[in-house]
Structure 1
Amino acid sequence: MITPAISVLTICGIAEIPSHGPRAVSHVLSVIDPDRPELTEFSSFGEHHRTTLRFHDIIDPQAGLVMPERAHMESILDFGSSLANDAEPGAQGHLLVHCHMGVSRSTAAMVTLMLQAREDASEEALFEELRAIRPQAWPNSVMIGMADDMLGRSGRLVDALRGHYAHQIKVQPELPKWMASMGRGREVEMAR
């Protein structure tokens, strides 16, 4: 739960979006590549509030690609604030956060929103909850670093991310090779 008005949390990839249409999604945070055309996957959804952010899932600058930036994280936190402000008494909201595959940008955004809403929660508990929502979660470390700073966590969120990566590698031993092939080897090293 993020706010009393948001009782269901979902993380998914673009291909999974249509399957959530019948589930009465009330709020959507879309994190997609800048060059991706507008998504048509929401055509089966009822009325919902949607915010779209456009940047690539990278952790080091690459020519022609858009790094996650502080302004993107500010937009995620603004979205989180709007969830509390939009709350209607007795409403049972459903928040869906997605990126291309539902693994990295969306999971980093969801942890950020969870921490923003529950400042007293332990970082480790939030990552445990994240794994329950999306077992394949591998949050973008650049986004998590910015969230740590912006939410005043003094490095605790980044430390918990290291533990999360170590857990993910233990239960999914193929992850280091896959992440390294995508230029994310630095994150694999964080787990060691």
Structure 2
Amino acid sequence: MALSRVPGDDELYVGGIFTLRRKDALAKHGITHVVSVLKYDFTEFEDWEKYEHLGIDVDDVADEDLLGEFERTGSWIERALKEGKGGKEGRVLVHCAMGKSRSVTVVVAYLLRQYPHHTVESALDLVRQTRPIAEPNEGFMEQLELYKNMGCPRDIKNHPQYQRWLFQREVDLAVAAGMAPDRVRFEDEEVQQEGEVRDREVELRCRKCRRTLATTPYLLPHLPTPPKHSPSLPPSALHSICTNHFLHPLSWMRPALEQGLLQGRLECPNPKCGAQLGRYAWQGLRCSCNVWVCPAFSLQKARVDEAVKKREVKGVGAEGGGGIRLPPGMREKENL
């Protein structure tokens, strides 16, 4: 199985590194462009200068960041197919070591980018029609799902979901070493996606002083797990046993989180209040409903009030993202 053509209108092929030694096969299929998704010295291959080449130096491991390369590979493949080379129709080979994981991931990302009707599974199934061994590793599959969920943006690296994903990776590495992360990404200081309409806006307030602590964009909903002794409890009953609200890290938590501790208390940011509201743990906490949340920034429901606001369009206002009041002296422009 030297190289396999992806079914469809595009002259797009997938293969392994030994495909590059098959000069007859490359010539037969009229390959003009090559995307190499691995670390390798290609000078040993004859007539290498005949092809336009894009190299992506990544390993086939689950924690490799290939997501950040999807726009570069996708736009390059799109241009290669449209413009061709030397008057020839563009035909692109995407390869890695075996033509199984990295190269297939790049091809699936291209299909998601160019053909919005595809899901990750349908795009992968298309590739498997001619290349049954196609099997991106678990980490790459998660990245493809995130890419699709993001809407296959052209500016991946500045997208809030990508930035959040990178931060989660930093947290995981730090916690594995028994430390808090070196930096904290405060969600309300980041540029938020605009134009999202919500029918129900929830606002959490300190029960003692009424200070706003969080709104819907910064809440982390979770699906309660039925306890072993009552596996058939309905969802409403499961939610009623949750005693905590979990949040993204917010700027009012800065004094606590920048101490560099693995865990600690969260107190009301109102200097005239200072009520203890909950706790945080970079290594995670288990909710009373049995769900594990990591990292965890938890407010006790008994210490906050939940108010429902009228429907509105999400945007970044004078108070900061999502209606959260930023700490004194922090202007909005400084947070973008």
Class of the TM-score when normalised by the shorter of the 2 chains: 0.5 to 0.7
* 1:51 alignment counterpart: 54
1:142 to 139, 143, 165: 139
Q: Distance in 1 between matches of 2:27 and 2:82?
A: 25
* 2:37 alignment counterpart: 31
Q: Larger deviation: 121-130 or 105-114?
A: 121-130
Q: Which structure shows the bigger proportion of residues in strand conformation?
A: 2
How far the C-alpha of 1:95 sits from its partner, in A, is 1.6
Q: 1:77 to 1:51 in 2, by over 3 A?
A: same
2:127 to 120, 125, 130: 130
Q: 1:78 to 1:93 in 2, by over 3 A?
A: closer
For the pair 1:22 / 2:21, whether they are aligned, the reply is: no
Q: Distance in 2 between matches of 1:45 and 1:21?
A: 12
Structure 2: which amino acid aligns with 1:57?
A: D
Structure 2: which amino acid aligns with 1:37?
A: D
Helix, strand or coil at the partner of 1:54:
coil
Q: Which structure shows the bigger proportion of residues in helix conformation?
A: 1
TM-score by length of 2: 0.37
Q: 1:93 to 1:84 in 2, by over 3 A?
A: closer
Aligned length: 142
List per-residue Cα deviations over 1:80-120 (Å, max 9, x = no partner): 343365368x9643221100111110111111112212112
1:105-120 equivalence runs, <5 A:
105-120=102-117
Which structure is higher in RCO with an 8 Å CA cutoff and minimum separation 6? 1
Are the aligned partners of 1:27 and 1:50 in contact in 2 as well (CA < 8 Å)? yes
Percent identity over paired residues: 21
Q: Distance in 1 between matches of 2:44 and 2:76?
A: 21
Are the aligned partners of 2:108 and 2:124 in contact in 1 as well (CA < 8 Å)? yes
List per-residue Cα deviations over 1:54-82 (Å, max 9, x = no partner): 0110014xxxxxx2344333322332343
TM-score by length of 1: 0.60
Q: 1:101 to 1:84 in 2, by over 3 A?
A: closer
Structure 1: which amino acid aligns with 2:125?
A: E
Structure 2: which amino acid aligns with 1:21?
A: L
Q: Distance in 2 between matches of 1:80 and 1:145?
A: 22
Q: 1:135 to 1:125 in 2, by over 3 A?
A: same
Are the aligned partners of 1:73 and 1:143 in contact in 2 as well (CA < 8 Å)? no
